[in-house]
A and B are shown apart, each in its own frame.
Chain A
Amino acid sequence: MMGGWITQQGPQNEIVLSSRVRLARNIVNTPFPAYLSMEEAKGLINQVEAAAKKNHERGYKLLVMDELPNIERQVLLEKHLISPDLIKSAKGAALISQDELLSIMINEEDHIRIQCILPGLQMKSAWDMANSEDDVLEQTLDYSYDEKLGYLTCCPTNVGTGMRASAMVHLPALNMIGNIGKILQTVTQIGLTIRGIYGEGTEFQGNLFQISNQITLGLSEEEIVQNISAVTSQIVEKEKEARSLLLNNNRIQLEDRVWRAWGILKNARVITSQEAMKLLSDVRLGMDLNIIENLSVSIINEIMIEIQPANIQKYAGEELSPEARDIIRAEIIRKKL
């Protein structure tokens, strides 16, 4: 059921969960999706589908948002295969590759958004894959492109390369030590941004963060990839330093925290998403530090996605209240561990 970046392994996988590259593209002389009629939007979906399916290796499956049950849409979102904006769009559709590493969103904010998501830190490979998919599409589609401004997008924050590259990182030790704030600040000064993935405000649920580029105009795709990779590697080093510091000075407390998390996850009968994400972060840390052995990180990835609301309801085969979900969530986790 789970595939793609969730179950596969990649470099630096103990701290970097995934590397993602997204390219925004538009068709020339055609209003952006918000201004297309349903008919025109359908026509565009057919056009893009035909262009993408020239690459037979990918085994693309077309999913039209309007025809897809709400839970199915949410499941794709929770697996990070499509964006929140796409599931809200009645005109939207997505082509998902068989291996779930590539997706092409149609009629999101832009006509086309090509996304490649790979496990671990492999930004360059993600860019290469998205880039070659872009070449395939461009063989048949006429892109909106300007000599001076590059790829023209609906939002001026994407113009130029149309590229957003992002790494999802797990930074529990830096968060415990309280150094996250400093990193957030530094990173924004060099044209990148870092934010919590789950949860809102200052609480970083599951200690998961996303580092991504802000600037799309005036830097080449390669430069953007290099910047993100270099900064992510540095943050990974800092996290490792923080972990060894914790391990050297507070080993027993750390072990206690990890094993308590393990105990609760293995035995709980009711658990909220917030609590589960926090405890999974502790267990993931424990695995990376060899406190817990003989368990694969992909299990934690799978659980992390499977305990999100829509995935739970898909598992249960019916719509559930939040309270009922907390019970099923605990059951899924016990089974997996």
Chain B
Amino acid sequence: MLCNECGKRPATVHITKIENGKKTNMHLCEQCALAKGALSINTGFSINDLLTGILNSGTPLPFKVDFMDDPVCPVCGMKYSHFRETGRFGCGSCYNSFGERLTPLFRRIHGNISHTGKIPNRAGTKFKAMREMEYLKAELAVAIKNEEYEKAAEIRDKIRALEKSNGRDE
């Protein structure tokens, strides 16, 4: 089919308009459709549109909980429903305030739900120790499995030392 407007290029955009109960069909090529402003191909949707799309595309619940369940961040006053509209948080505490509701979002954006990168020096001293502990425990399990008892004993001592120093901090 050729474009209704220019009659030269093939029609790739098909528009059905219903105005005052009257239905009209238009078959246009991309250029003419753009020129007529019939569609906004080039506006390219923004990251906001994408995010709110993701946020609002979850499996619908069998009952409506929107009004009951709209937590507010105590630090900045941002409502969860507002975040869903804008795709932007109000402050760092929003993450904690909205909690588990955000997990599916992170999974969809990043394919992951936990950070494995840099730990800040000051804010992260405790986390560093925790991660070190996890690492040592995993190493210990491997050593025991491989019957490397001398190595296992060494690792055990390290774990004890770490536990001690953590205890002092608290």
A-to-B contact residues, CB < 8 Å: 26, 28-32, 34-35, 109, 131, 134-135, 138-139, 142-157, 159-161, 163, 191, 200-201, 215-221
Contacts and interface: CB of A to CB of B under 8 A. Distances in A.
Interface stretch (B4-12, B18-26, B118-126, B153-161): B118-126
A200 B123 contact: no
Nearest to B83: A156
Given A32-B90, A152-B95, A157-B51, A218 B123 contact: no
B91 A139 contact: no
B35 to A, nearest CB: 15
Contacts, number: 128
The main secondary structure of chain B at its interface with chain A is loop
B57 interface: no
Contact of B112 (A34, A135, A218): A218
A145 B123 contact: yes
Contacts of A217: 106, 109-110, 112-115
Interface residues of B, number: 36
Interface in B67-125: 75-76, 78, 87-93, 95-96, 102, 105-106, 109-124
Interface of B: 42, 47, 51, 75-76, 78, 87-93, 95-96, 102, 105-106, 109-124, 127, 130
A155 B83 CA distance: 10
A29 B120 contact: no
A29 B93 contact: yes
A30 to B, nearest CB: 6
A145 B125 CA distance: 12
Given A155-B47, A217-B106, A29 B115 contact: no
6 contacts: A145-B119, A149-B95, A154-B89, A155-B51, A159-B95, A218-B113
A150 B42 contact: no
Contacts of A163: 117
Contacts of A159: 95, 106, 110, 115
B106 A191 contact: no
B93 A35 contact: no
B76 A148 contact: no
B122 A29 contact: no
